[in-house]
Amino acid sequence: MYAAHRETLDRALKAIAERSYWSAYPESPSPKVYGETAAADGSAAFEAYLGTEFPLDQPGTADWVTTESSPFGIELGVRYPHAPADALLDAARAALPAWRDAGPQTRAGVSVEIIDRLHKHVFELANAVQFTTGQAFVMAFQAGGPHALDRALEAVAYAYAEMTRHPATAEWEKPAGRGDPLRMSKTFHVVPRGVALVIGCNTFPTWNSYPGLFASLVTGNPVLVKPHPRAVLPLAVTVRYAREVLAEAGFDPNLVLLAAEAPGEKLASTLALRPEVRIIDFTGSTAYGDWLEQNARQAVVYTEKAGVNTVIVDSTDDFAGMCRNIGFSLTLYSGQMCTTPQNILVPSGGIESDAGHKSFDEVAAGIGDAVAKLTGDPARAVELTGAIVNDGVLERLERAGTVGEVVLPSQAVAHPAFAGAVVRTPVVVKLPAQAAQTYGDEWFGPVSFVIATDSTEQSLAVFRQTVGAKGALTAAVYSTDSAVLDAAEDAAVDAGVHLSCNLTGGVFVNQSAAFSDFHASGANPAANASLTDGAYVANRFRIVQSRRHIAT
């Protein structure tokens, strides 16, 4: 399998070194790209799962569990195999030795074959993502399919580069005076840490889980995939095809196991504290991420948590483009992205723009109007907003309308295709800089605050303070003054958050490109690691050497 995928892996290695644009998997769901029947076949495969036992033969299955409800209001009813923690861990540990001994090349080849197999089922995967997360179909296809697969391949490339950084063997010779030199042969083994646990999230089950899953697998660690109870199907599909490929390659399929949980079981916490679990990847709430970091002491823990993403507006040479760009970022998937802006900092005296001076109220209104235009037509709106993923988002959305002056109220939208879908447009609220107690916390969902500061200097100070305290995954600045851009970049470096400058076109702050953009930095409280670099994979294995004398 390594030979079959060597060209793809070599190109991925080149991409992470160059950091230029490259994608291995087409992001357009067009029949011209994937074939005339691909979409219908994927939809049929998804529908075949509904109301049935998911086809997964795993050890220790004691019963079947159902925990999902679709934000689009359709009945899912998929039943997943449920096993005790001991059975899953025993099976995973038994699978490890042969996988470890296969070596980096074989593991990389099998891992890329799994990614390729998932790509062959990308429409099936996209439907699973759409109907468990509330994403509109195109976003579910792109983010849940090709973009997630790119992230998986990126992780394999980083891991392969780290595992092969040193030679596998070496001959060592040291002069010994008049006698024969000392000669030894040395072998350097890549040794995995142990069982890995991936704890999936509700909103982006594949995009957020694939880096950890594939980084652990390719470095020799068996992986327990513990999905969010409301978004099991996308990761169950992933596990199904991963196990299929592993078996075909002659390995124990229990290298990848689905750890579905019963309602209220708290299986993630049980597994996270087991001594056999040596690696944990988690995306989700700050409270639970902090708990994992503090309590799962036997494991290396990678977390991506909440943050207060910020936009600093100083001036612009394209006021309409700025408002459109920010408005789109606020609307996309109803703001239910870990990278969506929340706080928009604007001087109370207004800004200079290509359309003349704009007051603070005009800036807020411009952003609100941009959102309103995107969401005014229900048929168009739902293809951007998708549906609300859970009741917690609805609660925050309702509460946000009471904390300040509402620029744009949230509206309920009737979905033209799914009568049971829960759809809400974003709310935009004005706040003073003194209201840090409100905007200093994360309001995950379609909630944004336009905050009046005394000046751009105060905006930068607020940015440093809030991100320093709560973290962020993204930041943006708009200014026609290079000195302000430099100051914002300095502030972003200090705060440890990735910065985008003057986005007015087809690139948005809440998007990141695999192989080029770094996702999370590990330098602020929103995440304890950069999720796309060599350090993210290097701690998943160790080098253990053996040495023997070479006879003279």
Residue 490 belongs to some domain of the structure: yes
Q: How far from 490 is each of 225, 481, 518, 524, 533, CA to CA, in Å?
A: 39, 14, 18, 15, 22
SS3 state at 303: strand
Beta pairing, strands 182-192 & 541-549? antiparallel
Q: How many domains does the chain have?
A: 2
Write the CATH number for 416. 3.40.309.10
Nearest by Cα to 439 from 312, 347, 333, 343: 343
Predicted pLDDT at 306: 84
Residue 47 belongs to some domain of the structure: yes
- Cα(366)–Cα(39) distance, integer angstroms: 38
Whether residues 132 and 233 share a domain: the answer is yes
SS3 state at 520: coil
Whether residues 542 and 465 share a domain: the answer is no
- Strands of 169-174's sheet in order across: 169-174, 182-192, 541-549
Predicted pLDDT at 551: 86
Whether residues 274 and 336 share a domain: the answer is no
pLDDT digits 0-9 by tens, 460-513: 999 999 999 999 999 999 999 999 999 999 999 999 999 999 999 999 999 999
Whether residues 398 and 291 share a domain: the answer is no
Whether residues 479 and 338 share a domain: the answer is yes
Whether residues 253 and 330 share a domain: the answer is no
Local confidence pLDDT in tens for the 552 residues of the chain:
899 999 999 999 999 999 999 999 999 999 999 999 999 999 999 999 999 999 999 999 999 999 999 999 999 999 999 999 999 999 999 999 999 999 999 999 999 999 999 999 999 999 999 999 999 999 999 999 999 999 999 999 999 999 999 999 999 999 988 888 999 999 999 999 999 999 999 999 999 999 999 999 999 999 999 999 999 999 999 999 999 999 999 999 999 999 999 999 999 999 999 999 999 999 999 999 999 999 999 999 999 998 999 999 999 999 999 999 999 999 999 999 999 999 999 999 999 999 999 999 999 999 999 999 999 999 999 999 999 999 999 999 999 999 999 999 999 999 999 999 999 999 999 999 999 999 999 999 999 999 999 999 999 999 999 999 999 999 999 999 999 999 999 999 999 999 999 999 999 999 999 999 999 999 999 999 998 889 999 999 999 999 999 987
Residue 255 and residue 223 in contact, taking contact as beta carbons nearer than 8 Å: yes
Dihedral-angle region of residue 194 (phi above 0 means left; psi in -120 to 50 means alpha; beta otherwise): left
- Cα(346)–Cα(363) distance, integer angstroms: 8
Beta pairing, strands 300-304 & 315-316? unpaired
Residues 6+ apart with CB under 8 A from 26: 33, 34, 146
Residue 506 belongs to some domain of the structure: no
Q: What is the DSSP track for 471-483?
A: --SEEEEE-S-HH
Residue 340 belongs to some domain of the structure: yes
Whether residues 101 and 221 share a domain: the answer is yes
User: How many alpha carbons fall within 13 Å on the CB side of residue 221?
Assistant: 32
Q: CA quadruple 266, 239, 285, 327: dihedral positive or negative? A: negative
Whether residues 463 and 319 share a domain: the answer is yes
Q: How far is CA 154 from the centre of its chain?
A: 13
Residue 522 belongs to some domain of the structure: no
Whether residues 231 and 213 share a domain: the answer is yes
Residue indicated by tokens 């969902």: 445
Whether residues 211 and 346 share a domain: the answer is no
Residue 186 belongs to some domain of the structure: yes
Q: What is the DSSP track for 70-108?
A: -TT------BEEE--HHHHHHHHHHHHHHHHHH-HHHHH
- Cα(225)–Cα(200) distance, integer angstroms: 7
Q: What is the DSSP track for 459-471?
A: HHHHHHHHHHHH-
- Cα(222)–Cα(213) distance, integer angstroms: 9
Residue 321 belongs to some domain of the structure: yes
Predicted pLDDT at 179: 87
Residue 296 and residue 280 in contact, taking contact as beta carbons nearer than 8 Å: yes
- Cα(377)–Cα(489) distance, integer angstroms: 38
Predicted pLDDT at 531: 87
Whether residues 297 and 389 share a domain: the answer is no
The pTM of the full predicted model, rounded to 2 decimals, is: 0.96
Whether residues 347 and 294 share a domain: the answer is no
CB atoms within 10 A of CB 438: 17
Predicted pLDDT at 225: 98
- Cα(453)–Cα(455) distance, integer angstroms: 5
Q: What is the DSSP letter of 524?
A: B
Residue 118 belongs to some domain of the structure: yes
Range(s) of the domain holding residue 125: 2-306+532-547
